[in-house]
Amino acid sequence: MNEHQARELILKTLCDVAPEVDAASIDPDVPFQEQLDLDSMDFLNYVISLEEAAGIRIPEPDYRRVSTLSGCVAYMVAATPVPREEAR
Q: Find out whether 26 and 46 touch, Cβ atoms under 8 Å.
A: no
SS3 percent helix, strand, coil of the chain, rounded to 5, is 65, 0, 35
Q: Does 6 bind another protein (CB under 8 A)?
A: no
Distance CA 64, CA 82 (A): 24
Q: Does 35 bind another protein (CB under 8 A)?
A: no
Please count the residues of this chain forming the interface with another protein, following the rule CB under 8 A.
21
Segment 39 to 78, residues that bind another protein, using CB under 8 A: 39-41, 44-45, 47-48, 50-52, 57-60
Q: Does 10 bind another protein (CB under 8 A)?
A: no
The phi and psi torsions of 86 (rounded to 5 degrees) equal -80, -30
Q: Does 20 bind another protein (CB under 8 A)?
A: yes
Q: Does 18 bind another protein (CB under 8 A)?
A: yes
Residues forming contacts to another protein in the complex (CB under 8 A) are 18-20, 33-34, 37-41, 44-45, 47-48, 50-52, 57-60
